[in-house]
Amino acid sequence: MTRVAMERKVLTENDRIAAGLRAQFARHGILSVNLISSPGAGKTSLLERTLERFGAGERVAVLTGDIQTDNDARRLARWGFPVRQITTGGACHLDARMVEQALADWDLASLDLLLIENVGNLVCPSSYDLGEAAKVVVLSVAEGDDKPLKYPAIFFKSELLVLNKVDLLPYVNFDLALACEYARRVHPQIEIIETSCTTGAGLDKWLEWLKARRAMVVAPSIILSEAKDPRS
């Protein structure tokens, strides 16, 4: 019972901080996306291909989490956008306080998009709200096509499934249709995009998804601003 009570206390505090982050993101019109996957599914490669397609004037930043090393941050920094590594020192997930601390000295008014790369894990990150507008789960075809059934929580909580490394389909035993069926069995409304960071397949659809989600964040901010303006 003590362990359960402590877990509830931790999650309650996390949710409080996440709510504050979400309010800040909404106030500044920032779309925050939390990318989650098993290790090696290709989150960092997807972010590399995303950043390289953005123009120099894009107001985007990245937080990337790992148990050790700043390897991913160094990979992503070469595109010229603000990148910060969160090293968890053993924790298998990011939490809202880690994100809050990482953003403490950043000017949020200068951002439109915040991409958060979580620690490679399909279990622990599903329990922790980071204040994001959407969770995105990345599943590579080099993994099992039954992962949505094995790890249902993260697929249920994610708005988008990125099926990555589809260029490997001829060489692996992965049933793409079955993986989609399993994902929709867990979450009937989940959107699915098939991508390859090697060939570039599906990356335009991924960028279109980000653009559409960004528009959904900006529109309520404009409405709220107009409602507060006595001249409107």
Q: What is the pTM of this model?
A: 0.89
Is residue 66 within 8 A of residue 184, CB to CB? The reply is no
Candidates 106, 129, 110; CA nearest to 118 is 129
Q: Is pLDDT at 33 greater than 70 in this prediction?
A: yes
Please report whether residue 232 resides in a domain.
Answer: no
Please report whether residue 34 resides in a domain.
Answer: yes
Please report whether residue 90 resides in a domain.
Answer: yes
Which residues, 6 or more positions from 115, have their beta carbon under 8 angstroms from its beta carbon? 33, 35, 47, 50, 60, 61, 62, 63
Domain that holds residue 122: 2-224
Please report whether residue 32 resides in a domain.
Answer: yes
pLDDT, tens digit, 9 for 90 and up, residues 139-176 = 999 999 999 999 999 999 999 999 999 999 999 999 99
Q: Is pLDDT at 1 greater than 70 in this prediction?
A: no
Rounded to the nearest angstrom, the gap between the alpha carbon of residue 141 and the centroid of all alpha carbons in its chain is 19
pLDDT, tens digit, 9 for 90 and up, residues 113-136 = 999 999 999 999 999 999 999 999
Please report whether residue 229 resides in a domain.
Answer: no
Q: DSSP states of 161-174 as a string?
A: EEEE-GGGGGGS--
Q: What is the pLDDT of residue 232?
A: 37
Question: E-assigned strands of 55-211?
Answer: 60-66, 83-87, 113-117, 134-140, 160-164, 191-194
Count of structural domains, the chain: 1
Please report whether residue 231 resides in a domain.
Answer: no
pLDDT band at residue 69 using 50, 70 and 90 as cut-offs: confident
Please report whether residue 142 resides in a domain.
Answer: yes
pLDDT band at residue 104 using 50, 70 and 90 as cut-offs: very high
pLDDT band at residue 90 using 50, 70 and 90 as cut-offs: confident
Q: In CATH, what number is assigned to the domain containing residue 12?
A: 3.40.50.300
Please report whether residue 46 resides in a domain.
Answer: yes
